[in-house]
Structure 1
Amino acid sequence: MTDSDGSNRAGPIAGGQVRHGTGVNSTRAFPTETHPSHRDPFVLFERFYIDPDTGFPMHPHRGFEIVSYMLDGGMEHEDSLGVSHTAREGDAMRITTGGGIRHSEFPADGAACNGLQLWVNLPRDRKEVEADYADAAAADLPTATEDGATVTTVVGDGSPLELHTSMEYLDARIDDSWTWTVPDGWAGFAFGVAGAGTADGDRIGAGDVLPVEGGRSVEFAPDDDPDSGRDSDGGRFRVVCVAGEPHDEPIRQRGPYVL
């Protein structure tokens, strides 16, 4: 796609469907067949759906950080650090896998849950840092009403969750025109969570991903029809917008490890 000044820009693309070996289904933003690359510093991003009879038994990770953000239901987390915690709608968790950690994820209360999970690469000189865990309740994440949107900061200014990578992670519920800008030199993406609308005039819906380069501003707006921008559950047009400072290092993912 081309802007009015003739420069090329990416438009929204559909996420890919992934079925994990444990039976958990996900809509993955990247890497997929349509977006095969990582987005330095980000390794992968997906929306997961865990049914009551599925989940992730105890398994290992190392070399990156995980941010999980719950959209619906509860997810029980246990790890080799001795942490046991249940995250519910609007709650977030950050795991620094560093030199190695083991954890499990299962739906809570015998009910299905779904949420978003982001993997963030650790820079080469921090790959072996001590594993760590932190969580934040929904009430701890700053939420502000801006022009055209209500925005929750999952990671970034005011959030209690900190990573080894400079980044921001915003959850925007959009009622009117709202603009997001990726800082110069950073890499970012937006992911449709609910409803439908436009990103710089291009249609974007749930499960779509929009790659955004540093310095670009994107104007989001709900569909003109007040009902067409809502999903089957009546949800508002909602996108998450994530951006971070690249490490300019190769991302070498080997299953649950990022080397």
Structure 2
Amino acid sequence: MAETLDQVASPELTKPRHVVRKFQARPQHEGVGAVVRRSIGRFELKYFDPFLALDEFSVTAPAGFPDHPHRGFETVTYMLEGAVTHEDFEGHKGTIKAGDLQWMTAGRGIVHSEMPAGPGTSKGLQLWVNLSSANKMIEPRYQEIQGKDIASTSKNGIAVRVIAGRSMGLQSPVYTRTPTMYLDFTLKPLAHLRQPVPPAWNAFVYTLEGEGVFGVERSGPVGPHHLLLLGQGDGLEVWNKSAKPVRFVLIGGEPLGEPVAQLGPFVMNTEEEIDRTVDDFQYYTNGFEKAEHWRSEAMVGFQV
């Protein structure tokens, strides 16, 4: 039976997790003129079961991520600044702003675009969560939550926004097919956090602002744009020993333990399934039928 966060809700940790690997995510170009800091899904770390990619993105119009397909996983877009407009071949369209969340299940197939809305630079995080073989070909689905509706609280100098999972007595309404926790923490100076994580899950930290001490109190502080892979244990401890706030996300998930075959935006279990996916996309079949005649408004604008 899969573990749940309710089973590890106590703040008392018997075996805190240590940081076993750390590296800085450096900027690279992606999409059309966009800049991302990719920490999972690059040569140092191609896969961290069940996570396929994590990008901290920065995009200013007219740059962006025009029409592109997905199959076999979920994309989780969490806006930090600005806004992004999303549209797809099913007719779904909307704009997510700073603090908003979109949890998109691509399933058997989706073609969509993600473009900045309005002037200025839009920034956020996009996480790719793998789906089990049983869920890879389900129908696409969206869960969208405005920032004001994300469960949040603060206590003892610790503020948390519960994007998925549970923390500080709050439960996110987001349904995760692959059991996942996604927590946005801000620690004031001198604050000390103990956050449970199910022992069987993989977990990591991505730092956003300030300098925090993670895993072991005697460790050195870690600044922004770092990925910290956590070892075995039942939770994470964090200290803010600086004079400024520290912000980071703690993300964990239950490993699928299945083979991964990936070709760009297509993630299946075997190379044969990837070949079939390429054929489906090329010939507009088996979930990609609507892609043949659809172009996003953003793409039509590019072609004018």
Q: Match for residue 108 of structure 2?
A: 99
Identity %: 33
Report the alpha carbon displacement of residue 154 of structure 1 after superposing the two structures with TM.
0.6
- Counterpart CA distance in 1 for 2:127 and 2:138 is 19
Structure 2 gap ranges (5+): 1-14, 269-304
SS of the equivalent of 2:134 reads helix
Report the alpha carbon displacement of residue 28 of structure 1 after superposing the two structures with TM.
1.3
Q: Match for residue 70 of structure 1?
A: 79
Report the alpha carbon displacement of residue 96 of structure 1 after superposing the two structures with TM.
0.5
Does residue 181 (structure 1) correspond to residue 191 (structure 2)? The answer is no
Answer with 60-69 or 209-218: which moved more. Answer: 209-218
Report the alpha carbon displacement of residue 213 of structure 1 after superposing the two structures with TM.
3.2
**For this pair of structures, how many residues does the alignment match?**
244
Please list, as runs of the form range in 1=range in 2, the aligned pairs for 1:33-44 lying within 5 A after superposition.
33=43, 35-44=44-53
- Bigger radius of gyration, 1 or 2? 2
CA distance change for structure 1 residues 43 and 181 in 2, over 3 Å: closer, same or farther? same
- Counterpart CA distance in 2 for 1:130 and 1:114 is 29
Counterpart AA for 1:39 = F
Report the alpha carbon displacement of residue 23 of structure 1 after superposing the two structures with TM.
1.6
- Counterpart CA distance in 2 for 1:53 and 1:8 is 42
Q: Match for residue 217 of structure 1?
A: 235
Structure 1 gap ranges (5+): 230-235
Q: Which has the higher helix share?
A: 2
Runs of 4+ in 1 over 4 A off after TM superposition: none
Q: Match for residue 13 of structure 1?
A: 23
Q: Match for residue 159 of structure 1?
A: 172
Q: What is the TM-score when the length of structure 1 is the normalising length?
A: 0.88
Q: Deviations over 1:150-208 (max 9, x none)?
A: 00001124323222111110000011111233211100100001112211223211100
| Alpha-carbon RMSD | 1.9
Confirm or deny: 8 A CA contact 1:50 1:114 kept in the other structure: yes
Please list, as runs of the form range in 1=range in 2, the aligned pairs for 1:103-114 lying within 5 A after superposition.
103-114=112-123
Q: What is the TM-score when the length of structure 2 is the normalising length?
A: 0.76
CA distance change for structure 1 residues 252 and 204 in 2, over 3 Å: closer, same or farther? farther
- Counterpart CA distance in 2 for 1:123 and 1:62 is 12
Report the alpha carbon displacement of residue 11 of structure 1 after superposing the two structures with TM.
4.3
- Counterpart CA distance in 2 for 1:108 and 1:254 is 29
Counterpart AA for 2:119 = G
- Counterpart CA distance in 1 for 2:24 and 2:101 is 25
Q: Match for residue 206 of structure 1?
A: 224
Does residue 130 (structure 1) correspond to residue 148 (structure 2)? The answer is no
Q: Match for residue 288 of structure 2?
A: none
- Counterpart CA distance in 2 for 1:156 and 1:217 is 14
Q: Match for residue 232 of structure 1?
A: none
